[in-house]
Structure 1
Amino acid sequence: MDDKIAQFSSVTGASTKEARRYLTKYKRLDQALDAYYNDPSAGARHTASTSKLNALFDKYKDPDGDDITVNGTIQMCEDLGVDPEDVVLLAVAYELKSPAMGQWTRKGWTEGWKALGVDTIPAMKTTLETLRRQLATDTDYFRRVYNYTFEFSRPPGQRSLGMFSVPCTTATRNSLRNCVGLDMAQGFWAILIPHGLQGGALAHVSSAQDGDGDERMGAAGEGGEEGWKEEYTQWWFEFLEKSGLKGVSKDVWQMFLEFVRTIDSKFEKYDPEAAWPSTIDDFVEFARNKLAGNA
């Protein structure tokens, strides 16, 4: 117990008395830490140190610039014990207001971690697991991270997302600002959609329900209605590649999230007269043909 108390206090900055109280109640260190950080009053008890956060930022900062960039991000990920392609880093990017992939500003870094109430690597590791669970289970949080991903992933000075500027095929100059490269969009969908499906953040809801005030349906809705299946994400990628599109508009990105949450598994209740992007209209026809064995 003494070792656990010491670890709890080291991570959270809590007193020995408070650490003992949480560990006595929750027994396991990970569960006690999770309960502490989910306690609304925890932030009031422990204020993250700006000086500690600045010291960590300086450790990872590009020596020739003002921000943490790719090399520093890789080192940070190694210290946190997380893969650079882990979906949880999208939640971290949202919390720390990352301006671009692999880039972190001092202001976003310090304000973001302080809002989360952590200032050490051990505490950050615990917070990452909390964010991972929240991203998997909380529909509203998933939506906020999902929408932010589109915005932060476009490098400064480029009008589309990706290592190179990839324009949408028929887009105008103005609409290019709201377009992301197809490969990059698929990469983010490939990690976000399965995470939300498995945790329940993308649990199926009836298309007749309001998307914001919906009732969770789980894998099946009213009357046993099933929704989006994991294999359909690959169908979506197959369709996009066959379509010849080279970019994904902001409208398609945002509406696809609601489409995944509301479409039935047989694509029977899709309303082509609703305000869906034409790309999703075409995908529904593609998916129906796949289900009928014609594709």
Structure 2
Amino acid sequence: MLICVSCLCLRCDCTEKLQGKFDYLRAQLNDNTAFKNIYRYAFDFARDKVQRSLDLDTAKTMLALLLGRTWPLFSVFYQYLEQSKYRVMNKDQWYNVLEFSRTVNADLSNYDEDGAWPVLLDEFVEWYKHRPSL
């Protein structure tokens, strides 16, 4: 249903017309507001509808698709999630990962320890600062 509705919105009734929209769709991913809407939609799209959160494996996969190429800390954050105690990611955590990726420098120099970040991100920063150098 999603693809049919999307194709209707894009006015695509065949594969060739859809391929012709790829540049437009890529531009949507580069628009901050549109990307934020796509990112937020992805949480509800990917979660099991009877659950209020994403299982961690699904969250990691979706984060890789959405932030893997653009967030300099993504691979380190992924490593953190791999070894963390977390088994799910709730909507607040999901939304804040995007905000964190957009506002906190890759060296964490502007990270505010007193900010209103979810504990997941506070613990990531702590883990990052104390992990062994590679």
Superposition TM-score, scaled by structure 2 size: 0.87
Contact 2:43–2:91, Cα closer than 8 Å, also in 1: yes
Instruction: Name the CA distance, whole Å, in 1 between partners of 2:15 and 2:36.
Output: 27
Q: Which residue of 2 aligns with 1:183?
A: 57
Q: 2:92, 2:118 within 8 Å by CA — same for their partners in 1?
A: yes
1:126-275 to 2 correspondences below 5 Å: 126-135=20-29, 137-156=30-49, 158-159=50-51, 177=52, 179-195=53-69, 197=70, 228-229=71-72, 232-275=73-116
Q: Answer yes or no: is the 8 Å Cα contact 2:56–2:86 preserved in 1.
A: yes
CA offset at residue 242 of structure 1? 1.7
Alignment check: 8 A CA contact 1:180 1:249 kept: yes
Query: Unmatched 5+ residue regions in structure 1?
Result: 1-103, 160-176, 198-227
1:131 partner amino acid = L
Gaps of 5+ in 2: none
Q: TM-score, normalised by structure 1?
A: 0.42
**Cα displacement (A) at 1:153:** 1.3
Deviation at 1:116, TM superposition (A): 1.6
Counterpart of 1:266 in 2: which secondary structure? coil
Amino acid at match of 1:133: A
Q: Which is greater in Rg?
A: 1
Maintained 8 Å contact 1:267/1:287? no
Distance 1:114 1:237 in 2: 36
Distance 1:192 1:264 in 2: 18
Q: Which of 114, 119, 126 is the equivalent residue of 1:285?
A: 126
Higher percent of residues as helix: 2
Task: Among all aligned residue pairs of Structure 1 and Structure 2, give the percentage whose two residues are the same amino acid.
Answer: 30
- Count matched residues: 134
Q: Does residue 114 in structure 1 map to residue 8 in structure 2? A: yes
The structure with higher relative contact order (CA 8 Å, sep 6+) is 2
- Structure 1 residues 145 and 119 mapped into 2: Cα distance closer, same or farther (>3 Å)? same
Q: Distance in 1 between matches of 2:23 and 2:68?
A: 17
Residues in 1 aligned to 2:63 and 2:109: alpha-carbon distance in whole angstroms: 23
CA distance in 2: counterparts of 1:264 and 1:124, whole angstroms = 37
Q: Secondary structure at the match of 1:245?
A: coil
- Cα distance in 2 for partners of 1:153, 1:190 equals 13
The superposition leaves residues 102-146 of structure 1 with CA deviations (integer Å, 9 ceiling, x where unpaired) of xx26xx72x4323222222210111134212321x1111111111
Matched ranges for 1:79-98 at <5 A: none
